Amino acid sequence: MIYPVFLPHAGCPFQCVYCNQRVSVSCGNQGSGLAAFVRMRLADYAGQVRSSGRPGEIAFYGGTFTALPCGLVEEILSGAAAFVHDGIFTGVRFSTRPDCMAPRVVEMLASYPVRVIELGVQSLSDSVLEKSGRGYGAETVFEATKRIKRQGWDLGVQLMAGLPGDNRELFMRSVRKALEIGADFLRIYPTLVLEGTALADSYRKGLYAPLSLDEAVALLAPAYDLALGAGVPIIRMGLQADRALEEPGAVLAGPYHPAFGSLVKCRWWQDRVDSRLAALEKLPGDELIVHVAQNQVSDAIGHRKSNLLHWQKKWGLSAKVVGDADLTGMEISWKTKSSNRDISL
């Protein structure tokens, strides 16, 4: 269980070109009483835990947590730590910027029950970071991750696809580097053009073109494959559906879809089967049968049966997906019109 406290833009040294968290996250106006707001949320969650008996981590998301005034960070963490010591919460996690994890910050955090730190890395390309106005380079990320791993904290890395100056090669290189530096999990978001951002101005002037939904899905599918192969989970792909994002005019352009992560997984199955079929000298049957784990059937079939339709069109055969409770990977078998017998590969 994760109990999130959202602090949009709190502590941020400036607003990044793509960012408007008050559009992407619904929350109340905290004004200047941030500590009071956090105390209230902690008390609310503590009541929920006592009622449900389900302890979990308290999470501070949005903004740049470690760029808040040091005294305020310690006040917030001290309040959270008291609940951890009482068994209400199991630990603390938060998101921050790589350039806000200096040695003195790490030393201060070490006194509190921190378990997970998510870095808003966005890219590991210096040119993309510069064009996106992040204010740091890849080397800063590498140094921050070393400090986090030395403390034994779990490391989350947030990346974005389709930033200004980004391309497929640079994005995939960022994913590989994120895995190499020891990310315990990833979040990957496609870049959206949100109202009230510098990126919105660039978009209106024709200086920035966002990815289409299909381009974004096709780009993230191999990233998902890389992470799977490394045993590193991608805990979210795409912004979480939120009523603020559904407001007319909130998203000016870009690949927003409330089920974006599911679309990526569907595309991953499509690409995986295509690759297997392309390796065959000839198709050994008339009907393709894709065997997958029971909980993977929906993704393998595809959104509105898109994968079944794709395989029929691309390979000229009928296809179906079958769930198998004992299967963890994928198996393919065939049926032929002449014999109606299964041919397994």
Task: Give me the residue spans of the domains in the chain.
Answer: 2-258, 280-344
What 3-state DSSP class applies to 57?
strand
- d(C-alpha 207, C-alpha 62), whole Å: 27
Please answer whether residues 289 and 342 qualify as being in contact, where contact means their C-beta atoms are separated by less than 8 angstroms: yes
Please answer whether residues 252 and 281 qualify as being in contact, where contact means their C-beta atoms are separated by less than 8 angstroms: no
pLDDT (tens digit, 9 = 90+) per residue, 238-273? 988 777 777 888 899 999 999 999 999 999 999 999
Low-confidence ranges of the chain (pLDDT < 50): 24-31, 341, 345
Please answer whether residues 11 and 64 qualify as being in contact, where contact means their C-beta atoms are separated by less than 8 angstroms: yes
- d(C-alpha 101, C-alpha 140), whole Å: 9
- d(C-alpha 277, C-alpha 18), whole Å: 40
Backbone angles phi, psi at 57, to 5 degrees: -80, 140
Nearest-10 crossing angle of helices 34-52, 70-85: 10
pLDDT of residue 301: 97
| Residue 139 CB neighbour total at 10 angstroms | 11
Nearest to 262 by CA among 200, 231, 230, 306: 306
- Kindly state the tokens that stand for 321: 């997906």
What 3-state DSSP class applies to 101?
coil
CATH number of 2-258: 3.20.20.70
| Residue 229 CB neighbour total at 10 angstroms | 9
pLDDT (tens digit, 9 = 90+) per residue, 117-168? 999 999 999 999 999 989 999 999 999 999 999 999 999 999 999 999 999 9
Tell me the Ramachandran region of residue 122: left when phi exceeds 0, alpha when psi lies from -120 to 50, beta otherwise.
left
Contact residues for 345 (Cβ-Cβ < 8 A; gap 6+): 276, 280, 284, 331, 332, 333, 334
Please answer whether residues 187 and 249 qualify as being in contact, where contact means their C-beta atoms are separated by less than 8 angstroms: no
Please answer whether residues 187 and 234 qualify as being in contact, where contact means their C-beta atoms are separated by less than 8 angstroms: yes
pLDDT of residue 233: 97
